[in-house]
Structure 1
Amino acid sequence: MNVYIDPDGREAGDVGGSQSLRAQLRLRELILAGALAPGARIAEVALVERIGVSRTPIRAALLRLEQEGLLQALPGGGYAVRVFSEREVADAIELRGTLEGLSARLAAERGAPAEALAQAGAALDEIDAVLRHSALDDAQWQRYVAANELFHHLLHGMAGSAVVARELERVVRLPFASPSAFVVQQAHAPQARDMLIVAQDQHRQVLDAIARREGARAEAILREHARIAQRNLREAMAAPLPGRAPGVRLVVPEATLPEPAAEATAAPRRRGRPRKDAAVP
């Protein structure tokens, strides 16, 4: 079982936007579910038939998913499903931990709204209710993921900083960087529930630190909290390839990552007269 919480679950303001959003969400789902193979070229016509929208929203969705990092633009046009190195994913998780730590410190120093603290506490109460079960079935895992995502979302807004909240929104959209991206990969591991109990204790501690206006403590706890996601990544990668969840198959060890085509990563060449400092052949 694999669960991904969509960060874009908001309504579009017009029909065209709704179609583009629908195409984007469905295409992301297909990629993370393994329906589109890593490195596979994306065929627009096939997506039109599969998703049931016209080519215009499909193209908008492809562009957006390239910006998110799930797709790679090809030199001759079109897109392919990206393959990620384990280091890239680890760096994205580290970046989320750094930004969440900053957000928690600012929230503590500036004073978080009482309503936000209460809502975050209610989300943690929901997690406590899940963890009272000695064994978690699929429904309980989904409850955990939903409450965990809500808690982190509330944390992101406590600092009262539109800049930090915007950057956090961007980083959690990076492939596999969301707070619950690898949690469910370990759902059937013997130590899975114990790991969640440790993470929940960190949730409670950071909320307590913010309420007590202890900025340095809040930041340190969330930086350490990201280490659990790093461990989940390592354990997911250690599983035999056939047993990995489909989305994790997009992640490969650094040594096996294919080199990207130079044309796909190079900056577009400008036309016109050369710069004065350009080398002359």
Structure 2
Amino acid sequence: MFKSTLGGGDREQTVRVQNRLLGGLAPASFEQLRPFLQPVALKRRAILQDYHHPIEHIYFIERGVASLLVRTQRDGPVGIAMVGRLGFVGVAAALGMQRSPNRCLMSVPGYALRIAVPDLSRAAHRSPDIQQQLFSYIHALLVQNAQTTLCSARHSLEERLSRWLLLAADRLDDRIIPVTHDMLSVILGVRRASITTTLAELEQSGGLIRQRGGIDVCDHAALELRTCECYQIIASEYRYLNRSGLHEHRISADADLMRACLCCV
């Protein structure tokens, strides 16, 4: 992931881009974004956008999982989608809207490449490749939103929780998901006690192991048996995003800043 060179007494560090949406851009298109991308650390519960607030930055997630939440004053928040290294936070701004319709916070800590909305808008206007990548992701996100709505209305908590864990593991490319029971209860809109009980049942089935401060998806296939069709419908849509392959892009990064980013992982 990291490459350092020494020259003229100065230390320069480059970081390989992990975001799959950026990785799908041709090198010439990525060069139009590179000068504006800034690595930022994202702690657990960091708010990337908030209800009815102006959207100033787009976040291309490099590591971690962000949750999009909707709410009413009576019912409180509930998750409608997750964002990881397959996408970006700030879809409303990419569509030309100035304010966020929902909240987005980090459910699993990590880091992102941040870009100011005007800088991304100018690059997308100049490059059809960038614009198409953004629109393709927005389509996949809409599919996820629609399928999550169906899943919440028709499927059991065991199926919904398994779906969320499988999708999170895919986005982290890791079997360890550092997420709390409290966070899962907010995302799925249920009591914390229900999350604890359902995780215990899933552990007995062999799909996962509960850990302090996290969950180990030790058997992906076993957990898939406990979830619903919604997982595969959402996952297949995101796999389609990178059907043309990935490029290796690198950006310059301050060593201290990257250490701060990795401390959040």
| Shorter-chain TM band | under 0.3
Q: What TM-score, normalized to structure 2? A: 0.28
TM-score by length of 1: 0.27
More helix by share: 1
Could you say which structure has the larger radius of gyration?
1
More strand per residue: 1 or 2? 2
